Amino acid sequence: MELESRRNLREKCALKQDILKEFLAEILGTFVLISPQDSNCTYMNILFGCGSVAQTVLSRGALGEPLTIHIGFTTGVMLAVYMAGGVSGGHVNPAVSLAMVVLGKLPLKKFPVYVAAQFIGAFIGSCAVFGLYYDALMDYTNGVLLVTGENATANIFASYPAKHLSVLNGFIDQVVGTGALVLCILAIVDRKNMGAPKGMEPLIIGLTILAIGVSMGLNCGYPINPARDLGPRLFTAIAGWGMDVFRAGGCWWWIPVVGPMVGGVVGAVMYFLLIDLHHPEPEKQNEEEDKVKDKYEMITMS
């Protein structure tokens, strides 16, 4: 009886449209993921990642450090891809979705849906972290939410540049970081290449994020995801930090949005031109394998 009730509930409530399933999967994945930094420029991620930043900042380093934030973000990415991967591919990043469009792996008509879901998931994730740490935020700030300065807390949710970073260098930073991410993702999921063992792809993608974090975090905390940065930034503008979140760092906000999109395309084109384009066609590959077998048989017979 209980099994039949569950079956009836599934038939009534289960979504039939694939695009709606993918939309919800991207929302959930990005909710778990996302990525913020501290003002000294090294961190990222929402529910797990952003939460690990909040714990580090609000405890004044007593319950966290850069390494714990890197681990939090890495774990967040891995779990996000595990959650959404089987439904939508687990992009959780507009730059990755754009790269898939460029390579013909994602229909262009789905791209706006994916991006909207990713931004919504990022915004909701910011709400969750804010609610989770509300009392700690009020205690830390005495109710004054600052974007810059010693007691700044906007950096929990979005990226801000280091003092040494110029606009051009920041843009290059985001192009290179996101390009590296997309290159690695394409290699990991490429079945014609070595690829990764089935089911291990999210873990290895997470380790890729860890590698980027520990090697490219100095300048601005490796945002490399427009949704993870702009979604939480919009939340902080509404939640009490004000429009300074867009003015800070010389109007820095657009760089972690545009830079990763450019980097995603660059990474996709590089992988296609240098690797994917040169994979043998399936029929040709089979012919080459047959030739090898024939040669082996001739050697063994002789």
What confidence score (pLDDT) does residue 287 get?
57
Confidence of residue 38 (pLDDT cuts 50, 70, 90): very low
What confidence score (pLDDT) does residue 295 get?
47
How far CA 243 is from CA of 88, 146, 153, 209, 226, in Å, comes to: 34, 11, 14, 30, 18
Say yes or no to pLDDT of 283 above 70.
Answer: no
Helix (H, G, I), strand (E, B) or coil at 39: coil
221 within 8 A of 42, measured Cβ to Cβ? yes
For residue 266, the number of C-alpha atoms closer than 13 Å in the C-beta half-sphere is: 15
Say if residue 45 is exposed, middle or buried (CB neighbours under 10 Å; 0-12, 13-18, 19+): buried
**Dihedral angle of Cα 246, 217, 92, 171, to the nearest 10 degrees:** 50
Confidence of residue 10 (pLDDT cuts 50, 70, 90): confident
Say yes or no to pLDDT of 281 above 50.
Answer: yes
Residues 35-59, mean pLDDT to the nearest whole number: 63
Say yes or no to pLDDT of 212 above 60.
Answer: yes
Lowest mean pLDDT among 49-58, 106-115, 172-181, 222-231: 49-58
Say yes or no to pLDDT of 35 above 50.
Answer: no
Say yes or no to pLDDT of 273 above 90.
Answer: yes
What confidence score (pLDDT) does residue 30 get?
84
How far CA 187 is from CA of 174, 216, 233, 255, 272, in Å, comes to: 20, 20, 31, 26, 10
DSSP state of 240: I
Say yes or no to pLDDT of 299 above 60.
Answer: no
112 or 53, which is more confident: 112
